[in-house]
Copies of this chain bind each other. A is one copy, B any other.
Amino acid sequence: MGKQKKEMKKALILISGGQDSTTCLAWAVKKFGRIHGITFDYGQKHRIELKSAKKIAKLMKIPLKVHKINLFKKFSQNSLTHDIKITGGKLPSTFVPGRNLIFLSIAAIYAKQMEITNIITGVCQTDYSGYPDCRDEFIKSLQKTLSLAMDHKFKIHTPLMWLTKSQTVDLIRKHGGLELLKYSHTCYKGVQPACGKCPACKLRLKGFKEAGITDPIKYA
């Protein structure tokens, strides 16, 4: 097996413990031979999602690195790391400026150390929350920037980029991972059963409804 082919089979996946990254993981295990995971403890109030990330990684036999970041609580005002009321609009209050930038940059540094070029993330532009760092244009630009930064040809895989939330449900079902979603966490309030009312819960519920499937997690 050539060096390139072997490297193609390794990947690093960003796992938040939510629906999207869990779906990406179910997709990734079919595509890559050896997968490593990374998750971030960044001061999110719903850090209960880290338990989900660990549980899902364990079930899928993926080694998971938990990395702590003190950046966002310090440098930005947003509803995920501060007690600020969740509001919508063009740029919702739940937008954490630079979050995917930092997550993917750290992932790339970690990947470089392991000689991995493939990075997988569950960002999505279709049914998205209005976060600029979920757009395809950003990811493509970042891929180039990361490669230039370290002289290492990264490929960022975004299997959900152009899927609706309903198609995301279909994708994990197709890969036999629906059962896994029972352990995932999405709710911004950080409660279990999920609140069902925050923007994250609403988006998740919408996808399941449109897919005609019952969400395996409990709602209040």
Interface residues of A, Cβ cutoff 8 Å to B: 67-68, 70-72, 74-77, 91, 97-98, 100-102, 105-106, 108-110, 112-113, 132-133, 135, 137-138, 141-142, 144-146, 148-152
Contacts and interface: CB of A to CB of B under 8 A. Distances in A.
A91 to B, nearest CB: 7
Nearest to A114: B75
Given A100-B149, A102-B105, 19 more contacts: A67-B71, A67-B74, A68-B70, A75-B110, A75-B113, A76-B112, A91-B151, A97-B113, A97-B149, A102-B106, A132-B148, A132-B149, A133-B148, A133-B149, A138-B148, A141-B145, A141-B148, A144-B145, A145-B145
Contacts of A145: 101, 138, 141-142, 144-145
A125 to B, nearest CB: 12
Contacts of A77: 113
Q: Looking at chain A's contact residues, is the secondary structure mostly helix, strand, loop, or mixed?
A: helix
Contacts of A76: 109, 112-113
Nearest to A148: B138
A72 B110 CA distance: 9
A132 B112 contact: no
A103 to B, nearest CB: 11
B144 A141 contact: yes
A135 B148 CA distance: 9
A97 B109 contact: yes
Contact of A150 (B132, B146, B152): B132
23 contacts: A71-B109, A75-B106, A76-B109, A97-B112, A97-B113, A97-B150, A98-B105, A98-B112, A101-B105, A101-B145, A101-B146, A101-B149, A102-B109, A132-B148, A132-B149, A132-B150, A133-B149, A133-B150, A138-B149, A142-B145, A142-B148, A142-B149, A145-B145
